[in-house]
Amino acid sequence: MNISIVIPAKDEQESIPELSQWISRVMQTHGFSYEVIFIDDGSTDGTWAEIQKLSSTNASFKGIKFNRNFGKSAALHTAFKLTQGDVVITMDADLQDSPDEIPELYKMIKEEGYHLVSGWKKKRHDPISKTIPSKFFNFVTRKISGINLHDFNCGLKAYHQAVVKNISVYGEMHRYIPVIAKWAGFTKITEKVVEHRERKYGYSKFGWERFVRGFLDLLSITFIGRFAQRPMHFFGSWGMVSFLLGFGFTVKILYDKIDSVFISKVPLKREVTEQPIFFLALVALVIGVQLFLTGFIAELLARQSVSSKKYLVIDRVGLEEEESNKLKV
């Protein structure tokens, strides 16, 4: 199969029929073999009914339904494990991403050898309240990750199949998939300017809180990417610095005490326990030991296999599954 298209959807009943027709037209024009996997992420409208209708008339359209809203990362993670195409395309269900971009994205993966191609909405149809914070976070992410992309959060992306099969997306990490891919060893990453269309139906499901969560997620993914397999390098290094600092303060205190008693025999102006340096030494020593122990425990945990997180899927269309894993509601 040439292409798997993964589309998370939350209350997008109106846009799905038009989007599916558009995708079919593009696929047929270019002669691609394909599948489209919709993920109903806890919709409260008729989104799932539209997906079921599509699957009943066209076997290329498949669907997953979550029992509640888990978020875009959960939707992508679940669908990635089920894709069969050589190239995996992700896009939003709100018609702001154009399926006409798919052939060129496919070519960049298959013929030009990229692992990941991220869309860049150079000309955006969003209010300034979204564009300014977005530019700031993209700038910070570029500097921290070392990946020269202008629009990390663009939903329109193309992946080599090996990428989606070997990364895990959780929390709010979907906006940092290029960073996750890089840390997993998929370094051939580029971008392509894509069309950004105005929203035709419904409203945006994201608010200001996503920027706060996004910044925290960036710190998390940076730390995990660098130190997940060697946490002692981080905790141990800082623990050693803190311990040596505390040890130095302790030596200074002992020297002053010995000097006052045996050498100069000049009484200290203040007792050792009344000096600020005493408390600095104590705190630094304790923190140093705690950081070292934290690194040791983290190192042990890093060596244990961690089972991937699973999300509760209550129904499927067009996708095989073990009967024992299906939840009847």
Q: Which residues contact 188 (CB under 8 A, 6 or more apart)?
A: 113, 114, 115, 116
**Arithmetic mean of pLDDT, 17-21:** 94
More confident of the two residues 223 and 303: 223
Residue where one domain finishes, among candidates 199, 228, 257 = 228
pLDDT of residue 133: 74
Domain count for the chain, please give it.
2
73 within 8 A of 164, measured Cβ to Cβ: no
In a domain, 160, yes or no: yes
Q: Confidence band (pLDDT; 50, 70, 90) for 227? A: confident
One-character DSSP codes across 246-264 = HHHHHHHHHHHHHIIIIIS
In a domain, 137, yes or no: yes
- In terms of average pLDDT, the best of 34-43, 204-213, 260-269 is 34-43
pLDDT of residue 204: 59
pLDDT of residue 325: 42
In a domain, 152, yes or no: yes
Whose tokens are 């066209």? That residue is: 58
198 within 8 A of 125, measured Cβ to Cβ: yes
In a domain, 95, yes or no: yes
Read off the pLDDT of residues 182-191 as tens digits, 9 standing for 90 and up.
988 899 999 9
Read off the pLDDT of residues 145-156 as tens digits, 9 standing for 90 and up.
889 999 988 999
104 shares its domain with 169: yes
What separation in angstroms does the CA of 275 have from each of 113, 263, 269, 272?
A: 64, 20, 10, 6
How many percent of the chain have pLDDT more than 70? 85
Reported in sequence order, the residue ranges of the chain that DSSP labels E, i.e. its strands, are 3-9, 34-40, 61-66, 87-90, 116-120, 157-160, 189-193, 313-317
10 Å Cβ neighbour count for 46? 15
pLDDT of residue 307: 47
222 shares its domain with 258: no
Look up the CATH number of the domain holding residue 76: 3.90.550.10
More confident of the two residues 201 and 111: 111
246 within 8 A of 282, measured Cβ to Cβ: yes
176 shares its domain with 263: no
263 shares its domain with 207: no
246 shares its domain with 217: no
202 shares its domain with 264: no
Residue of 166, 162, 158 lying closest to 108 (CA atoms): 158
Angstrom distance (rounded) from CA 329 to CA 314: 7
Angstrom distance (rounded) from CA 235 to CA 291: 5
Mean pLDDT, the chain, integer: 84
14 shares its domain with 161: yes
85 shares its domain with 215: yes
In a domain, 317, yes or no: no
241 shares its domain with 110: no
Domain around 273: 231-302
pLDDT of residue 265: 72
Residue where one domain finishes, among candidates 228, 258, 279 = 228
63 shares its domain with 93: yes
pLDDT of residue 327: 42
Whose tokens are 């955006």? That residue is: 124
Least-confidence region, from 43-47, 248-252, 270-274:
270-274
**Arithmetic mean of pLDDT, 257-276:** 77
In a domain, 272, yes or no: yes
With a cut of 70, say whether residue 324 has pLDDT above it: no
41 shares its domain with 134: yes
**Arithmetic mean of pLDDT, 195-214:** 66
One-character DSSP codes across 157-175 = EEEEHHHHTS----TTGGG
What separation in angstroms does the CA of 39 have from each of 81, 90, 204, 314?
A: 13, 11, 17, 12
How many percent of the chain have pLDDT more than 90? 49
More confident of the two residues 234 and 133: 234
157 within 8 A of 117, measured Cβ to Cβ: yes
Cross-sheet strand order for the sheet of 157-160: 189-193, 116-120, 157-160, 87-90, 3-9, 34-40, 61-66, 313-317
In a domain, 298, yes or no: yes
Q: Which residues contact 40 (CB under 8 A, 6 or more apart)?
A: 9, 10, 47, 48, 51, 63, 64, 65, 66
Residue where one domain finishes, among candidates 178, 208, 228 = 228
64 within 8 A of 40, measured Cβ to Cβ: yes
240 shares its domain with 108: no
In a domain, 327, yes or no: no
Token digits of residue 235 = 């905790």
pLDDT of residue 216: 72
With a cut of 70, say whether residue 314 has pLDDT above it: no
Query: Terminus-to-terminus CA distance in the chain, angstroms?
Result: 33
Q: Confidence band (pLDDT; 50, 70, 90) for 203? A: low
Q: Which amino acid is at 47?
A: T
